């Protein structure tokens, strides 16, 4: 097809879709698909200006539109995630929660672009760059110091005019690949593949989006490769700081970061109310593609650090910040079939088998349909042209059908009556539930999913025991439940297709190593409904051994922070099943450790007590002071509340914590008082603790 023919074809297609969209209000393709047509036409017209026509749609206003290669790093200050708002309504609801949390006190907000990159923590000691770590799971990341050191925009030595630098300064931000650098990388890989094919070699994958390309560049084993990729960095937050200045607002910390020599995004704005926040989000939602880097939303934070302490955190995220996600990309494609998967608990989930389509930065061939009711409500059918959305830029889902393109004679899809596994057991939908389940305990699909879950990274983390391997093992009759993985032999593995000595030895070594997993992972691996990593961590700390959890009453489990009555009831029901008890004993016989946690032998005299540490205590680091509290059963949160038992004050304390303690009447302790509490679990006798003003801070007490 000649350029002129393709231009003519594109103009006709765009005119058709303009009519469907603007005149008939029945679009047949997504905005993203429409934009692709317009962009292709504009490119061809730019390459062939002699073919540009004043009637072309392009000339009409409104017509367009934890890697083992890297050592683990424990974050001294966790890198928490953010809750999301997907639309203006959810953003407004967050604003209302802020207002309630501050008892009507007005708040200012800092609005930042949400950079589509890789979160990073940079550590400087005495002003010198010493370490870079990825976010990882928020507590432990990967050491990528050598690679991050190649990013040209980052200072190697800190300096601030007229002042000294902190003894320790952790800077948080986002490593990203600018669009220009991404295009250069993609073009180079494409040219390289042309040469590879010409030489009879297999082409290598071409990077599909800047975020993934940037992450891959950062994880190169050779830092020289990373250096050539053109990575950049925006700083947006401080982590651990020792010996630095005190701040009262977030925007002051951003100014300080800039003074230290770090890049701070120029589009950050401080606004006085939620109306300003919404205006900022709306602007960048409309102009996200005007930037030389990719963004996928905006981040909104309460500016006052004192107000942040009032608002605190949920179990996973700060209440004082939220990520406003821009609407996800949508594409249209053909729905080839609707099938049903069976999970480890018997839950059956319909999913769409799609004509592969590129959406949200990756090629999607399957997408969730959630449950039986959702399929019926959307009325999607095999053969339909459907709109596919990558919700939250992560999970592909089918939004709905394009009815004008539905094939004649199409019939509604009917949820299957029988489980798709070889047993063909009748499926059950319990009254009042949205999910349909297979309740046959010997269902092989459930069995395989339980084993896959057991071996997953969040559970026993058995490398090499993925979906295809589990299916091989179960088909061969070598495993019938997760406990059977510990009885596998080298001889059995070598009978499997495409298995050799090295692969067999590696899997057996990984299985053997999993026996030493800490108790939280063992608890998670059991597959009890509702018992995820956070609750497992809480139970491990509270009870110390798996046997103690098994023997605990529902009431005792429910009083554990992070567990609650629903999970507690689920745990008790799970352990009441004889087959589950036998499974636990199978793990015990295999040598799996049931109590590998840091269980302190110290007196647990601080159980139920929250002690906040602020400032530097002689003889203690911040981490060791918090550990001393937790080793005695207490908690050491980062903020003061009405539930705080005491505030321990060292040198250079946080003024806002002291003010909050004074307002709430919380006892304030010095080093001696802290040591007394550790030894006895009680406050020092009256008169022994320091005052909350001059004696505690070295400053005159306010007013």
| CATH code, domain carrying 40 | 1.10.287.610
pLDDT tens per residue across span 507-556: 999 999 999 999 989 999 999 988 987 788 789 988 989 999 999 999 99
Looking at 475, 493, 514, the residue that finishes a domain is 514
Contact yes or no for 464/508 (Cβ under 8 A): no
Is the pLDDT higher at 219 or at 477? 477
Considering the domain architecture, whether residues 29 and 116 belong to the same structural domain is answered as no
Instruction: Report in angstroms the alpha-carbon separations of 442 from 242, 344, 419, 422.
Output: 57, 11, 12, 11
Examine the residue annotation and report whether 630 is marked as an active-site residue of this protein. no
pLDDT band (50, 70, 90) for residue 23: very low
Task: Please check whether residue 248 lies inside any domain of the structure.
Answer: yes
Considering the domain architecture, whether residues 629 and 531 belong to the same structural domain is answered as no
Q: What is the CATH number of the domain that holds 631?
A: 3.40.50.10190
pLDDT on residue 162: 67
Considering the domain architecture, whether residues 539 and 581 belong to the same structural domain is answered as yes
Considering the domain architecture, whether residues 125 and 187 belong to the same structural domain is answered as yes
pLDDT on residue 554: 94
Considering the domain architecture, whether residues 508 and 620 belong to the same structural domain is answered as no
Is the pLDDT higher at 600 or at 309? 309
Contact yes or no for 418/403 (Cβ under 8 A): no
pLDDT on residue 142: 87
pLDDT on residue 519: 93
DSSP code per residue over 178-245? -HHHHHHHHHHHHHHHHHHHHTT-PPPPPP-SHHHHHHHHHT-SSHHHHHTTT-EEEEEEEEEEES--
Looking at 534, 558, 590, the residue that finishes a domain is 590
pLDDT on residue 415: 92
pLDDT tens per residue across span 134-143: 888 788 888 9
How many domains does the structure of the chain reveal? 5
pLDDT surpasses 70 at 616: yes
pLDDT tens per residue across span 567-580: 999 999 999 999 89
Contact yes or no for 84/325 (Cβ under 8 A): yes
Looking at 309, 325, 341, the residue that finishes a domain is 325
Using the structure block, give the residue that is written with the tokens 């939004």. Answer: 399
Averaged pLDDT for residues 647-670:
82
Task: Please check whether residue 438 lies inside any domain of the structure.
Answer: no
Choose, from 114, 310, 390, 521, the residue flagged as catalytic: 114
pLDDT surpasses 70 at 202: no
pLDDT on residue 539: 92
Distance from C-alpha of 437 to C-alpha of 347, rounded to nearest angstrom: 4
pLDDT tens per residue across span 248-282: 999 999 999 999 999 999 999 999 999 999 999 99
Q: What is the CATH number of the domain that holds 563?
A: 1.10.150.20
Is the pLDDT higher at 26 or at 16? 16
Task: Please check whether residue 309 lies inside any domain of the structure.
Answer: yes
Averaged pLDDT for residues 603-631:
84
Considering the domain architecture, whether residues 490 and 538 belong to the same structural domain is answered as no
Contact yes or no for 338/426 (Cβ under 8 A): no
For the whole model, what pTM was predicted? 0.47
Highest mean pLDDT, choosing among 204-213, 285-294, 403-412: 403-412
- Given CA atoms 220, 223, 227, 232 in this order, what sign does their dihedral have? positive
Task: Please check whether residue 481 lies inside any domain of the structure.
Answer: yes
Considering the domain architecture, whether residues 112 and 238 belong to the same structural domain is answered as yes
Q: What is the CATH number of the domain that holds 276?
A: 3.30.470.30
Looking at every residue in the chain, the average pLDDT score rounds to 86
Task: Please check whether residue 110 lies inside any domain of the structure.
Answer: yes
Considering the domain architecture, whether residues 81 and 52 belong to the same structural domain is answered as no
Highest mean pLDDT, choosing among 5-19, 471-485, 625-639: 471-485
Considering the domain architecture, whether residues 457 and 539 belong to the same structural domain is answered as no
pLDDT tens per residue across span 349-378: 999 999 998 887 678 899 988 888 878 878
pLDDT tens per residue across span 112-133: 999 988 899 999 999 999 999 9
pLDDT band (50, 70, 90) for residue 68: low
Considering the domain architecture, whether residues 510 and 523 belong to the same structural domain is answered as no
List residues bridging with 163 in a β-sheet.
160
Considering the domain architecture, whether residues 525 and 507 belong to the same structural domain is answered as no
Task: Please check whether residue 349 lies inside any domain of the structure.
Answer: no
For residue 48, report the phi and psi dihedrals to the nearest 5 degrees: -135, 70
Task: Please check whether residue 254 lies inside any domain of the structure.
Answer: yes
- Which two tokens mark 339? 């099938």
Range of the structural domain that residue 659 is part of: 610-697
Considering the domain architecture, whether residues 125 and 266 belong to the same structural domain is answered as yes
Task: Please check whether residue 433 lies inside any domain of the structure.
Answer: no
């Amino acid at each position: 097809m000649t350029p002129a023919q393709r231009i003519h074809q594109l103009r006709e297609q765009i005119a058709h879709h303009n009519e469907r969209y603007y005149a008939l209000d029945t679009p047949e393709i997504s905005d993203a698909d429409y934009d692709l047509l317009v962009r292709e036409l504009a490119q061809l017209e730019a390459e062939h200006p002699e073919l540009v026509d004043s009637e072309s749609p392009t000339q009409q206003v409104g017509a367009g539109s934890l890697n083992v290669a890297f050592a683990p790093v424990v974050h001294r200050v966790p890198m928490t995630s953010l809750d999301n708002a997907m639309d203006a309504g959810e953003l407004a609801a967050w604003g209302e929660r802020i207002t309630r949390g501050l008892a009507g006190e007005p708040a200012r907000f800092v609005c930042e672009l949400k950079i589509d990159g890789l979160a990073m923590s940079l550590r400087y000691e005495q002003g010198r760059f010493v370490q870079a770590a990825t976010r990882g799971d928020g507590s432990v990341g990967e050491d990528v110091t050598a690679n991050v050191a190649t990013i040209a925009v980052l200072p190697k030595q800190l300096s601030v005019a007229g002042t000294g630098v902190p003894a320790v300064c952790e800077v948080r931000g986002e490593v990203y690949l600018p669009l220009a650098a991404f295009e250069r990388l993609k073009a180079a890989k494409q040219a390289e593949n042309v040469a590879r094919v010409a030489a009879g070699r297999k082409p290598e994958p071409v990077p599909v989006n800047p975020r993934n390309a940037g992450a891959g560049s950062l994880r190169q084993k050779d830092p020289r490769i990373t250096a050539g990729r053109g990575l950049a960095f925006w700083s947006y937050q401080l982590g651990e700081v020792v010996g630095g200045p005190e701040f009262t607002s977030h925007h002051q910390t951003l100014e300080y970061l800039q003074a230290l020599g770090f890049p701070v995004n120029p589009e950050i704005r401080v606004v006085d109310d939620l109306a300003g926040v919404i205006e900022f989000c709306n602007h960048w939602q409309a102009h996200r593609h005007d930037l030389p880097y990719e963004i996928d939303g905006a981040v909104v934070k309460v500016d006052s650090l004192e107000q942040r302490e009032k608002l605190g955190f949920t179990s996973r995220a700060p209440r004082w910040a939220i990520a406003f996600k821009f609407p996800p990309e949508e594409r249209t494609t053909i729905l080839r079939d609707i099938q049903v998967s069976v999970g480890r608990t018997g839950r059956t989930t319909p999913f769409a088998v799609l004509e592969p389509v590129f959406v949200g930065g990756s090629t999607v061939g399957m997408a969730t349909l959630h449950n039986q009711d959702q399929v019926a409500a959307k009325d999607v059918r095999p053969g339909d042209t459907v709109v596919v959305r990558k919700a939250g830029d992560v999970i592909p889902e089918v939004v709905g059908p394009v009815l004008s393109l539905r094939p004649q004679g199409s019939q509604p899809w009917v949820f299957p009556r029988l489980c798709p596994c070889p047993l063909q057991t009748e499926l059950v939908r319990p009254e009042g539930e949205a999910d349909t389940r297979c309740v046959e305990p010997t269902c092989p699909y459930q069995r395989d999913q339980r084993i896959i879950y057991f071996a997953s990274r969040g559970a026993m983390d058995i490398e090499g025991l993925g979906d295809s391997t589990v299916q091989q093992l179960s088909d061969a009759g070598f495993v019938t439940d997760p406990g059977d993985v510990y009885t596998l032999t080298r001889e059995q593995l070598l009978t499997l297709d495409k298995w050799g000595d090295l692969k067999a030895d590696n899997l057996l070594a990984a299985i053997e190593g999993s026996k030493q997993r800490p108790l939280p992972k063992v608890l998670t691996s059991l597959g009890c409904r509702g018992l995820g990593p956070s609750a497992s961590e809480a139970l491990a700390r509270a009870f110390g051994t798996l046997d103690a959890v098994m023997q605990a009453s529902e009431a005792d489990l429910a009083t554990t922070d992070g567990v609650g009555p629903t999970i507690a009831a689920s745990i008790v029901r799970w352990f009441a099943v004889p087959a589950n008890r036998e499974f636990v004993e199978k793990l015990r016989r295999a040598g799996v450790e049931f109590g590998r946690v840091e269980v302190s032998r110290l007196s647990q005299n601080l159980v139920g007590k929250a002690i906040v540490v602020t400032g530097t205590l002689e003889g203690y680091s911040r981490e060791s002071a918090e550990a001393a509290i937790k080793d005695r059963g207490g908690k050491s949160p980062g903020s003061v509340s009405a539930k705080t038992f005491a505030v321990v004050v060292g040198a250079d304390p946080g003024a806002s914590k002291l003010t909050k303690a004074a307002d709430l009447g919380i006892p304030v302790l010095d080093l001696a008082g802290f040591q007394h509490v550790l030894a006895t679990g009680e406050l020092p006798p009256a008169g022994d603790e320091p005052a909350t003003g001059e004696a505690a801070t070295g400053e005159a007490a306010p007013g």
